[in-house]
Structure 1
Amino acid sequence: MGRQVGDFPLEKLRDYRPALGNKPHDFDAFWSEQKNKLKNKHSQVETGLRKYPVPSIEVLDIVFKSWDDTPLNGMLIKPKSALECPVIVCFPGYTGSCGLPVDYLKWVSLGFAVYTFDVRGQGLSPDYGKYQNGSRIPGWMLLGIYDPENYYFTNVYRDILMQIKWIRSEESPFTPTKLGVMGSSQGGGLALSAAGLDGEMDFVLADWPFLTHFERALDVALSGPYMEIVNYFKWNDPQYNTYDQVAETLGYIDSVHFCESINCSTLMAAGLEDAITPPSTAFAAFNHIQSVNKKIEIYPQFTHELNPFHDEKKLEFLSRQLENKPHDEIPGITKQHLFDL
């Protein structure tokens, strides 16, 4: 049952757990070093209360100066007067922004507070990073592609580590009783990577994640940002002489390489007609996640698009996080049914 366009059939997707051949041998040491470099970095954060028409919530506008002083635009949306509550960090999709408060009201209605920040260079935020190469291809995928230390998404991950440190600190506006991450597409990939990097998240929600299993994605994606890399080779290196160098850099930020460090409750989703983030890449991540409380929802006729049906699933998942119940305690769901349509 189910459709798939240019990807594996559903039966194979369920068991698709590829070897991580492009995971750099010093992957863990690399990210341990990045964390050490950030230990003594201090974020300057400015907040301002926004006048908002919904009386039960508060909205704070944030300017978050990251490790290199890049000012990232952000928001905090929380239940009014709450001094502590569970927190979701929501990551935006590629080319997107932190959005509007109304985008997050459904999560706040459950009792969560939501932090959301622009990704550097996207939304309304600049990027103070310095990259050693340009590109004939539009987008951010190739900025610093020859050097993992100075690659664009390495910088993005540093931002996320700084944001999480600040959210947990005494300098943040209130105390998180739980902390989880959420996102779709680019946001889904960032959520998986953040959870793996941090190692102490309480839950993860990642819909049709981008930045995931590049080896497969570059072979089967037909549109979207993976094509920036495909077209890089076509126009800059038609005989793929730099493939190993590019693949090594991508290996340090590929979210599938962080999934073996994820042990918390996880909800994912995949559309079987998704040609931007092919379903096999999502299943590769899902099947490497170590948590026993994980589930992936499958939508046979959905492409890379908003999915209100899955938003209902996410509300149910989040409500269970408040009750500290795993998936197998949700009525009608057992471990044997984690893949059911």
Structure 2
Amino acid sequence: MHIDMPIHELEKYMGKNPKPADHEHYWERGLSELDELSLQYELVPADFQSNIADCYHLYFTGLGGARVHCKYVKPKNAQPNGPGLVIFHGYSGSSGEWTDKISFAAEGITVLVMDCRGQGGLSEDNLQVQGPTIRGHIIRGLEDANPDHLYYRNVFLDTVQTARILMSMDHVDCNRVGSYGYSQGGALATVCAALEPRIKELVAVYPFLSDYKRVWENMDISNSAYEEISYFFRVCDPNHLREEEIFEKLGYIDIQHLADRIKANTLWVTGLKDNVCPPSTQYAAYNKIKAKKEILLFHEFGHEHLYGLADKAFQMFRSL
């Protein structure tokens, strides 16, 4: 039994949310702005310490002058030209506990985990934007005339800066870096690999932020991670007079429209009973990836713990 499309339809589905005509220019311009930023960072020793790794709070300045926080875990036995891993967290969460990074450090992998601006961690959200937020970050900036003021634009570019900082470290080989995340983190790991072509390995687990119009038109949006779109229309456009315009603007921050840029070896993970980030929205992005890829399906699972997956991802990143 499926909650979305049958698998044979999922395998052909290419998404329905519109892609803005200037989408490529939008992101190339963003990357050009990022090129002007320094890769300098500040390290603050963490209270948490380990016999395996040195742990720090790392801060850098992102676009708009925002102070962005990451957890930085460096193996004590770090070798020159070693591997690295950037990790991204789920919606409204944070970079999490130190202990879940230590297993990677034990394998000689340097880890950098980014806090998204204004969510559950320590990163600053200093975006000044017209229009309401109401509930959630997808719609933050959606009423602003300038699409550069969409909340996720800066967050997407923060993922690139995080990866570039890790790649700039003396003991890290810039061609041996992976990207990893679940849900919102899976979306951000995907974006990072799309906008930073040196990412070698990508593991994206039931990624969020894809194919907004599919969720709106065909799924139970009030029970999904996309429910804030419903709140937006109720408050800002109850008669849907601007529906086409709104979904086209959301196309700037739709990961399916960036997926074809990915060069990393990709493991994509989907639960076929996921009603939070429906399978079709995930396939919309996966089907556009041109790099070497594999999709791992959990048939009886939704948006939840997936048995054995963390071990599989760990083994994949050990090969960096």
Residue 248 of structure 2 corresponds to 248
For normalisation by structure 1, the TM-score amounts to: 0.85
**Residues 63/173 of structure 1: CA separation in 2 closer, same or farther (3 Å cut):** farther
2:276 is matched by which residue type in structure 1? I
Moved more, 81-90 or 188-197: 81-90
Give the paired residue count: 313
Structure 2 residue 193 is matched with structure 1 residue 212? no
Residue 268 of structure 1 corresponds to 268
In the alignment, the residues of structure 2 paired with residue 114 and residue 40 of structure 1 have an alpha-carbon distance, to the nearest angstrom, of: 25
> Conserved in 1, the CA contact under 8 Å of 2:81 and 2:170?
no
In the alignment, the residues of structure 1 paired with residue 22 and residue 109 of structure 2 have an alpha-carbon distance, to the nearest angstrom, of: 37
Structure 2 unaligned regions, length at least 5: none
How far is the alpha carbon of 1:39 from its aligned partner? 2.1
In the alignment, the residues of structure 2 paired with residue 63 and residue 224 of structure 1 have an alpha-carbon distance, to the nearest angstrom, of: 33
SS at match of 2:223: coil
For normalisation by structure 2, the TM-score amounts to: 0.91
What value does the CA root-mean-square deviation take over the aligned residues? 1.9
Between the aligned residues of both structures, percent identity stands at 30
Q: Kindly report which structure 2 residues correspond to 1:181-200, keeping only aligned pairs within 5 A, or say none.
A: 181-200=179-198
Structure 2 residue 130 is matched with structure 1 residue 132? yes
In the alignment, the residues of structure 2 paired with residue 302 and residue 251 of structure 1 have an alpha-carbon distance, to the nearest angstrom, of: 28
In the alignment, the residues of structure 2 paired with residue 289 and residue 25 of structure 1 have an alpha-carbon distance, to the nearest angstrom, of: 20
Residue 4 of structure 1 corresponds to 2
Residue 149 of structure 2 corresponds to 150
> Conserved in 2, the CA contact under 8 Å of 1:141 and 1:225?
no
In the alignment, the residues of structure 2 paired with residue 44 and residue 67 of structure 1 have an alpha-carbon distance, to the nearest angstrom, of: 13
SS at match of 1:196: helix
Residue 51 of structure 2 corresponds to 55
Which of 34, 37, 41 does residue 30 from structure 2 map onto?
34
Structure with the larger RCO, 1 or 2 (CA within 8 Å, 6+ apart): 2
In the alignment, the residues of structure 1 paired with residue 44 and residue 307 of structure 2 have an alpha-carbon distance, to the nearest angstrom, of: 31
Q: Kindly report which structure 2 residues correspond to 1:45-194, keeping only aligned pairs within 5 A, or say none.
A: 45-50=41-46, 52-82=48-78, 83-122=80-119, 123-135=121-133, 137-146=134-143, 147-169=146-168, 172=169, 174-177=171-174, 178-194=176-192
In the alignment, the residues of structure 2 paired with residue 267 and residue 32 of structure 1 have an alpha-carbon distance, to the nearest angstrom, of: 26
Structure 1 unaligned regions, length at least 5: 323-341
How far is the alpha carbon of 1:298 from its aligned partner? 0.7
1:4 is matched by which residue type in structure 2? H
Residue 328 of structure 1 corresponds to none
How far is the alpha carbon of 1:176 from its aligned partner? 3.0
The list of structure 1 runs, each at least 4 consecutive aligned residues, that deviate by more than 6 angstroms after superposition, is: none
How far is the alpha carbon of 1:158 from its aligned partner? 2.5
SS at match of 1:288: coil
